[in-house]
A and B are shown apart, each in its own frame.
Chain A
Amino acid sequence: MTSKKILFLLRSPPYAGSQAYETLESLLVTAVFDQEVSVLFADDGVYQLLKEQDPSGIGTRSVGAGLKALSTYDVERVYASTASLEERGVPLGDVDLAVETLDAEQISALIAGQDAVISG
């Protein structure tokens, strides 16, 4: 099968409806198809990175727990927008996942290098 460079641009907060979790599901399926998957957390999507998420009180699945599957699926290119982290006061100390932070110029280069971008 053709291998394409596919970036998942995750911009949704983790618990504002199903969008974040459903996008994570599509990300993991894409990884199973042996595509060159990268992930970029930007805008409110950086809230997905916060550690110790416990959504048990709102009857929904934990996006944080789901993201731990990324390494299992060999998704190792995981990035976060420096500006989005700073604007929202999310310090890397509150993030468990190994992410590389990118500035606006690096994000432009990352997106330009993709065959497709799936946002969600």
Chain B
Amino acid sequence: MNFALAVYGAPYSSQASGSALRFARAATAAGHKIERVFFYHDGVTVANESIVAPQDESDLPTEWTALATEHQFELAVCIAASLKRGVVNETEQQRYETPSATLKQGFEIVGLGQLVDAVINAHRLVTFAA
């Protein structure tokens, strides 16, 4: 089965990102494919490279990028949702002249069309609400 995941909740404020990560880990371990993980709404903040995870809690941003690298799927961050939450890549940092780029390596800033594309190409969309 080919899954698209949508993650709406911010890490550490909501269980969405942690649950989605564990789902993705279980799905890939069982031989399923992840088409794309699409972070939307507050979910985009997981891509903020300045996040410092507490020592005794999951480092969600890094665990996401490690799993995505291992299983070759995309961590897509909605551009409209991320700009207003301070998650910018170098292109957007230059365009809007913000103090620094904040996007963690391994995440991609994309348009909403990539959510539609994932839904069209996957067998199932699984949403992790805030």
Q: Which of A2, A19, A29 contacts B113 (CB 8 A)?
A: A29
Q: Which of B8, B81, B84, B125 contacts A116 (CB 8 A)?
A: B125
Is A25 positioned at the interface, with any CB of B under 8 Å from its CB?
yes
B125 touches A120 (CB 8 A): no
Query: Given contacts A4-B119, A33-B120, are A119 and B80 in contact (CB under 8 A)?
Result: no
Is B15 positioned at the interface, with any CB of A under 8 Å from its CB?
no
Is B7 positioned at the interface, with any CB of A under 8 Å from its CB?
no
Secondary structure of the B contact surface, majority rule: mixed
Give me 7 A-to-B residue pairs in the complex whose CB atoms sit less than 8 angstroms apart, sorted by A's number: A18-B41, A19-B41, A19-B130, A22-B40, A22-B80, A35-B116, A120-B40
Taking CB atoms, residues of chain B closer than 8 Å to A110 are none
Is A46 positioned at the interface, with any CB of B under 8 Å from its CB?
no
Is B47 positioned at the interface, with any CB of A under 8 Å from its CB?
no
Cα of A18 to Cα of B41 in the assembled complex, Å: 7
Cα of A117 to Cα of B126 in the assembled complex, Å: 9
Taking CB atoms, residues of chain A closer than 8 Å to B80 are 22, 25
Cα of A118 to Cα of B6 in the assembled complex, Å: 9
Is B112 positioned at the interface, with any CB of A under 8 Å from its CB?
yes
**Closest Cβ–Cβ distance, residue B25 to chain A (whole Å):** 22
Interface residues of B (CB under 8 A from A): 6, 8, 40-41, 78, 80-81, 84, 111-113, 115-117, 119-120, 124-125, 127, 129-130
Which residue of chain B has its CB nearest to the CB of A31?
B116
What interface size band does chain A fall in? Answer: 20 to 34
Map CB proximity to B onto A1-30 as digits: 1 under 8 Å, 0 otherwise. Answer: 110101000000000001100110110011
Which residue of chain B has its CB nearest to the CB of A27?
B112
Cα of A30 to Cα of B113 in the assembled complex, Å: 7
**Closest Cβ–Cβ distance, residue A29 to chain B (whole Å):** 4
Taking CB atoms, residues of chain A closer than 8 Å to B84 are 18
Cα of A2 to Cα of B120 in the assembled complex, Å: 7
Other A-B pairs, 8, CB within 8 Å; known A25-B112, A33-B120, A116-B119: A4-B120, A18-B41, A19-B8, A19-B41, A22-B78, A33-B116, A35-B120, A120-B8
For the complex of A and B, list the 9 residue pairs with the smallest distance between their C-beta atoms, beginning with the closest. Answer: A29-B112, A116-B125, A33-B116, A30-B116, A116-B119, A26-B112, A2-B120, A19-B41, A119-B127
